[in-house]
Chain A
Amino acid sequence: MTDLGLWGIPIAMLGGALRVSVPFLFVSLGECITERSGRINLGLEGVLVFGAMAGYAMSYKTGNAWLGIVAAALAGTALGLLHGLLCSLRRVNDIAIGIALMLFGLGLAFFFGKPYVQPKAPMLPDIALGGWSPWPAVRAALDVSPLLLIGIVAGFALNYAFRSTRWGLHVRVVGDSADAARALGLHVNRIRIFATAIGGGFAGVGGSFLSLAYPGSWNEALSSGQGLMAIALVIFARWRPLACLGAAFLFGGAGAIGPSLQAAGISSGYYLFNAAPYVLTLGLLIATSSPRRKLAGAPGELGRQT
């Protein structure tokens, strides 16, 4: 009993979705923290790719993939910090800084990453969660990366932090009303810089998944825009960390439909499946926006010029 027939397609899709969704998960959690503090970081694409390069390089140099993940987190935090600091200046547009950061991050990643395109770095080993199953397809689908588990735990931890910790409350107050935060004696810029730096760290880890787990190599075409789409994910998730898990899985699933259909011999419509979540997000925005009020769940300070 090793052939699952047509069941192979959804199982392969599930496995694909579990893999493809990890970078989405980390960038969306990172962007979620940043946006809850009242700022948008559009530069996570550059942060993600820089993190992917830093992680791969560190893993190659030290022979330890986990040190690579740490390096990616630090690299991402550094770029996030840069965004946070620059946006604390008055009358600086966070969108423009974000796009400039994207170019800068991509530039740094490609500049320093050139020598690492050829050599093979140690990969992060998977955890076999499917050992109970007699079917190889199921076992293959349930070979999950430890980063997936870390991402899920991080989602729950963030949800708890936003709800029930002083730190989460501070970020939320700063994001909803800078004036109220100041009245409470909070340092608005300091909290936003911190939130943007942490957000960058998450995106860096998301990038290291691309280079150290799946697809598991470093080259200049590694990312397919996962960082750029962090914004869409966070809107889709309504700025809630737990919903980010669902959104990442949905976006990852849509990305996995194409390859599994291709494996089943259906090759057209690949790009349209990939774009489906963006159409869905746009539809959701159109359906729920109104010219007279902000989106439900959106932090009050988002998009406000300082």
Chain B
Amino acid sequence: MRLGLPVASLVVAGLLFGLFILAVGRDPLAVYALIWRGGFGSGFAWQNTLSRASPIILTALAVAIPARMGLIQIGGEGALALGGLAASLTGIAAGSGSPVATQALMLIASMAAGGAWIAAVGALKHYRGVNETISSLLLAYIAIALFNHLVEGPFKDPGSLNKPSTRPLDAAVMIGSIPGLDVHWGLAAGVVLCLLAGFVLKHTRYGFALDTIGANPRVALLAGLPVGPAIVAGCFAGGAAAGLAGGFEVAAVNGNANTSLIVGYGYTGILVAFVARHQPLAILPVALLFGGIGASSGLLQRRLDLPDATVLVLQGVAFLVILAADPVAEIVGNRLRRSAA
């Protein structure tokens, strides 16, 4: 049953998307086949899918951890951008004397930047009562403005004319790929952090404290839990994950910070976290699925001449159906039971 409903809602989403494809005069079966091939049908497809999944895993964690405490923060896009910028600036400042040390510093800087940004959301919520959803959205917008200002102003590489960027990192300090997979280490970081978060949330006192705060903050306070510090720490952890996503995009993929960081991973992460019901372990398959759908976009464009937004439609339909699946299943279940009785 626990797996049945998500699978059933994916089938429904697929059918609705098929009707859409039919309605615009195309062959749904051919589209399904290409999505499968482009996302999961070859080594190259898997490599593309996994590279797309890794920032989504991390931005989903950024939503899932605070959500366990009842905080719906949606500022992952901003934390990711600042994390990427921090990694780039740290990498340039640290130089290539000791590549491993520089790489470590870049990733730490990206986590600190993203973490601080979302920790502020948690602190504003707990100590000032500012709604976290709205403050995180505003802070994301402010972060992206700051990012654009710094990338096009003080830290612009004079050589980057068409697309203002920070100076490129030295090739020696770029983070490489996981051996045998040809996917950068961000994927491993995402998987490890999901496993770690899953373990901490389920088996430690800190995880229990977060769930207690999420269930009822007043009870948590009465029980003597340090609610404020726990909220700030949880938000920091989430923001650090989103910052790390930006750090890897810069230090392992792009080599510099520019607007190609701001492509909506933060928003996809929010939906992935909701679909995974804020369970870190469930984030992994969901992120893989949506990474795969995204990866098939190029093939759909080349083979069927469909707009690249086709996969955006499928993702939108899938998210809407999955989010609505639970209560709909409940209503249908009740009807069935009533008619059987």
Contacts and interface: CB of A to CB of B under 8 A. Distances in A.
Interface of A: 40, 42, 46, 82, 86, 89-93, 95-97, 99-111, 114, 225, 228-229, 231-232, 235, 268-272, 274-275, 278-279, 281-282, 285-286, 289-293, 295, 303
A100 B324 CA distance: 11
Given A103-B319, A114-B307, A275-B146, A96 B270 contact: yes
Nearest to A97: B323
Nearest to A305: B70
With most chain B CB atoms within 10 A of its CB, the pick from A228, A268, A275 is: A275
A111 B313 contact: yes
A279 B144 CA distance: 12
A107 B320 contact: no
Contact of A101 (B135, B137, B320, B326): B320
A39 to B, nearest CB: 13
Given A103-B267, A268-B153, A292-B129, A282 B135 contact: yes
21 contacts: A86-B320, A92-B323, A92-B324, A100-B271, A100-B320, A104-B317, A107-B310, A107-B311, A107-B316, A108-B309, A110-B308, A231-B137, A232-B134, A235-B134, A271-B145, A272-B146, A282-B135, A285-B138, A289-B124, A289-B128, A290-B129
The secondary-structure label for the interface of chain A is helix
A278 B129 contact: no
Contacts of B153: 268
Contact of A274 (B74, B145, B310): B145
Given A103-B312, A111-B310, A275-B142, 14 more contacts: A89-B328, A90-B327, A91-B327, A93-B323, A96-B270, A99-B74, A99-B267, A111-B312, A232-B137, A270-B149, A271-B145, A271-B148, A286-B130, A289-B128
A29 to B, nearest CB: 18
Contacts of A95: 72, 74, 133
Interface in B110-158: 124, 126-131, 133-135, 137-139, 141-142, 145-146, 148-149, 152-153
B130 A275 contact: no
Nearest to B264: A103
B300 to A, nearest CB: 11
Contacts of A114: 307, 309
A47 to B, nearest CB: 12
B185 interface: no
B274 interface: yes
Contacts of A290: 128-129
B315 interface: yes
Contacts of B330: 90
Contacts of B135: 282, 285
A271 B164 CA distance: 14
Nearest to B150: A271
